[in-house]
């Protein structure tokens, strides 16, 4: 999938929903769902393109450095935030 967006492409949104994050642990790094959100690359490790996502802005990170195992352990992960602060939205 990296060849589709280029090696220098950066991800600026991650799907941090609890279910998608857990499902993403069973998906190979880089094999999730890429989409555009607000004109920037967004990535869901679970690869569930037709389901609602909980997008969180992240510092620009090269796609090649996104590791599914580190999404759940990130500070501020969705399970650490109050439920009403989570934004659910369908990707375009």
For the chain, which residues make up each domain, given as ranges? 2-90
Is pLDDT at 11 greater than 50 in this prediction?
Answer: yes
What's the pTM?
A: 0.74
Is pLDDT at 88 greater than 50 in this prediction?
Answer: no
pLDDT digits (tens, 9 = 90+) for 13-71: 999 999 999 999 999 999 999 999 999 999 999 999 999 999 999 999 999 999 999 88
Q: Compute the average pLDDT of residues 70-84.
A: 56
Is pLDDT at 7 greater than 80 in this prediction?
Answer: no
Largest CA distance in the chain: 37
61 φ, ψ (degrees, to nearest 5): -130, 130
């Amino acid at each position: 999938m990296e060849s589709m967006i280029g090696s220098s492409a950066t991800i600026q949104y991650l799907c941090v929903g609890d279910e998608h994050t857990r499902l993403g642990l069973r998906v190979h790094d880089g094999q999730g769902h890429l989409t555009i959100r607000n004109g920037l690359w967004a990535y869901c490790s679970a690869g569930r393109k037709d389901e609602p996502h909980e997008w969180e802005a992240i510092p620009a990170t090269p796609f090649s450095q996104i590791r599914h195992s580190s999404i759940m352990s990130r500070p501020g992960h969705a399970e650490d935030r109050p439920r009403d602060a989570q934004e659910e939205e369908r990707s375009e």
